[in-house]
Structure formats: structure tokens, C-alpha cells
């Protein structure tokens, strides 16, 4: 049983599989679990969020718990209180803490001193809660994930990295196409027990061959604003549109973690059309995270 969920690699392949099946049950009957009855979960945000905040807050409510949303500028952390002390105090009041922050080292330090599970709600390198929702969306479309090919087209960022790590753990063949300078690490270590694979490409048309889904993300992520112009230039040929989807497997659909910039990384026709599961994917954040919370706070 993992104490924390920092990269997703804490899970075994079997745990990931059962977590996704539990998320399907929770989606079918959203009020069937009161796993957090009488308990509180702290959610610390040092960066903006729409989906993560709403899906965690509503999901915790549905589980019978109370979500305590804490903006970092309102905490004593902003005045220099130690992460260790913050972790020790939170551990006395809440049953889990979600954190959206920049450096992964900050999250790791908080987790090191926490006596309760710590959940990564997005860091510079990882977005594992998003990957859970991504896998749930794929699982809804395909009874078996093992051996499916999924393409990611664009910036090799935290979303791509988490898709690669958790996708490989679920047995996916993940193909990532990025321009030079924006690629994922070629030697990214896959989680123990991963039966899937990661392949890196520069040509998006090669990556999408045989893919059942084509995923993309914004070209300018939070924190990348100072290099926005050069990013848009480098990533300009990596738009997910109907022409690119035509090169993927029959009935392939588009995915995006949102927020989206229609006309940049994805065409408006795809974003709002019938060849996508993007809005299901956004909803699935809640169901997947509820399954995760159950898993972390109710050890078997
Ligand atoms: N996908 C995602 O994490 O969305 P938010 O930044 O709105 O939470």
C-alpha cells in the first residue's frame, strides 16, 4: 500500500488496474461510497486550477468528507514556516493532503514529513491524477488497455511524462512526438512491473500510426510564459486536427487535459466535435481521484 501518490509509480500494475475498475463503479454510482465520512482532506494550491480543484472538492464531498482548500499565500508557508512543520500540523487534522506546486522537491519534502498520504495535484514534472483520468477514459473506450497504442503530440511536459509512466504501468504502448528541445527524457525509467512501453518520435504522423487515441496539451504551460513565442514557433507543426486523426487507427479519438487553446495545439473542430473524449476526460478526474482517495485512506 503506498503512503503517497507523488508520481504514480508508487502503484503496482494490479493496484492501478483495480483502481480504474473502482473508478468505473464510482462513476456509475457517485454516492455509493462514504469512505471519507467525518474526515477532511486539505488541498494546497500554489498555482491556478479549475478541473483539479473542482473535481477534488466535489469528489471529497461525494465521499462524505470535507475539502479544505488552502491557498498557499494564506498559509504561514508564505511567511517562511517550514514544510516539515506544515506537514506535521496537517497530519493532526486531515486524513490526506493534495498539493499543486512547482518543484517536485517541495512535494517530496512535504511527503517525507507527513503522517498522512500526500497526493500530487500537479508539479513541474508530474501530473499523475490527470493520468488516472486519462487511463479511465481509455478504459471506458476499451475493455483491455494492455497493448493499446496511444499517441501524445506536442510538448514533452508533466502531462506527457505521467501519461507515459502510468500508461506503461497499465500496459499501453505510448508514442510521444515532440520537436527537438521539447522531448521527454529518452531514458525515462518506467515503473516497476510496467508491461507497456514508451517510444519517442519527432514526426507526429509517425507517432499516431495505429494509435487508438491522440493526446495533446498546451504549448505554453504554467511557468513557461517567458518563452511563449519560441514555444509556439517550435510546436507549430504539432496541432491535433482532423487530418492527423485520419492517420491514426479507425475510430481514434482526441484527448486533452485542458485548458485548451483552440487553433494552437488542437483545432476547434476536433475540440468541440465528435472525434474526442476530452470532456469525458475532464469529468473522469473526479471519479478517478475518488477511487484514489479510497485507496489511500482506506488501506485494505
Ligand atoms: N488538467 C488540469 O489539471 O486542469 P486544471 O489546471 O484546471 O486543474
Summarised one tens digit per residue, pLDDT across range 244-262 is 999 999 999 999 999 999 9
Same domain (yes/no): 155, 260: yes
List the grid coordinates of 20: 480504474
Same domain (yes/no): 113, 147: no
Nearest CA to ligand 1 atom 7: 50
Q: In this structure, what CATH number is given to the domain that contains residue 218?
A: 3.40.50.1370
Can you tell me the mean pLDDT for 83-101?
A: 97
Same domain (yes/no): 138, 183: yes
Same domain (yes/no): 103, 208: no
Q: What residues are in contact with ligand 1 under a 6 Å CB criterion?
A: 49-52, 122, 130, 257-258
Residue 75 lies in a domain: yes
Same domain (yes/no): 118, 200: no
Same domain (yes/no): 26, 53: yes
Same domain (yes/no): 47, 178: no
Same domain (yes/no): 138, 211: yes
Same domain (yes/no): 199, 266: yes
Same domain (yes/no): 293, 260: no
Instruction: Specify whether the CB–CB gap between 285 and 131 falls below 8 A.
Output: no
pTM exceeding 0.95? yes
**Domain count of the fold of the chain:** 2
pLDDT tier at 292, thresholds 50, 70, 90: very high
From the CA of 54, how far away is ligand 1's center (Å)? 9
Same domain (yes/no): 187, 232: yes
From the CA of 74, how far away is ligand 1's center (Å)? 21
Taking the alpha carbons at both ends of the chain, their separation in whole angstroms is: 8
Percent of the chain with pLDDT over 70: 99
Same domain (yes/no): 115, 149: no
Each residue of 46-86: pLDDT tens digit? 999 999 999 999 999 999 999 999 998 999 999 999 999 99
From the CA of 259, how far away is ligand 1's center (Å)? 7
Residue-range definition of the domain harbouring residue 240: 129-281
Atom of ligand 1 nearest to the CA of 53: 8
Can you tell me the mean pLDDT for 219-239?
A: 93
From the CA of 188, how far away is ligand 1's center (Å)? 24
Amino acid at each position: 500500500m503506498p503512503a503517497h501518490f507523488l508520481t504514480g509509480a508508487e502503484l503496482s500494475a494490479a493496484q492501478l488496474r483495480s483502481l480504474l475498475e473502482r473508478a468505473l463503479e464510482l462513476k456509475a454510482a457517485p454516492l455509493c461510497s462514504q469512505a471519507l465520512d467525518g474526515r477532511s482532506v486539505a488541498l494546497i494550491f500554489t498555482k491556478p486550477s479549475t478541473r483539479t480543484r473542482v473535481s477534488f472538492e466535489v469528489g471529497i464531498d461525494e465521499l462524505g468528507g470535507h475539502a479544505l482548500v488552502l491557498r498557499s499565500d494564506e498559509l504561514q508557508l508564505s511567511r517562511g514556516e517550514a514544510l516539515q512543520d506544515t506537514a506535521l500540523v496537517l497530519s493532526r487534522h486531515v486524513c490526506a493532503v493534495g498539493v499543486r506546486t512547482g518543484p517536485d522537491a517541495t512535494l517530496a519534502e512535504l511527503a517525507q514529513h507527513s503522517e498522512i498520504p500526500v497526493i500530487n495535484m500537479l508539479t513541474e514534472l508530474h501530473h499523475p491524477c490527470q493520468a488516472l483520468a486519462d487511463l479511465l477514459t481509455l478504459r471506458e473506450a476499451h475493455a483491455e488497455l494492455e497493448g493499446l497504442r496511444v499517441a501524445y503530440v506536442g510538448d514533452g511536459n508533466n502531462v506527457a511524462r505521467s501519461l507515459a509512466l502510468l500508461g506503461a504501468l497499465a500496459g499501453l504502448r505510448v508514442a510521444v512526438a515532440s520537436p527537438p528541445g521539447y522531448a521527454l527524457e529518452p531514458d525515462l525509467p518506467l515503473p516497476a512491473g510496467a508491461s507497456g512501453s514508451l517510444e519517442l518520435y519527432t514526426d507526429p504522423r509517425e507517432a499516431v500510426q495505429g494509435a487508438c487515441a491522440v493526446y495533446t496539451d498546451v504549448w505554453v504551460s504554467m511557468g513557461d510564459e517567458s518563452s511563449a513565442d519560441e514555444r509556439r514557433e517550435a510546436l507549430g507543426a504539432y496541432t491535433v486536427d482532423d487530418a492527423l486523426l485520419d492517420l491514426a487507427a479507425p475510430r481514434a479519438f482526441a484527448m486533452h487535459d485542458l485548458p485548451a487553446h483552440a487553433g494552437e495545439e488542437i483545432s476547434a473542430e476536433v475540440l468541440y466535435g465528435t472525434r474526442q473524449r476530452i470532456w469525458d476526460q475532464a469529468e473522469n478526474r473526479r471519479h478517478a481521484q475518488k477511487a484514489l482517495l479510497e485507496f489511500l485512506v482506506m488501506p485494505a
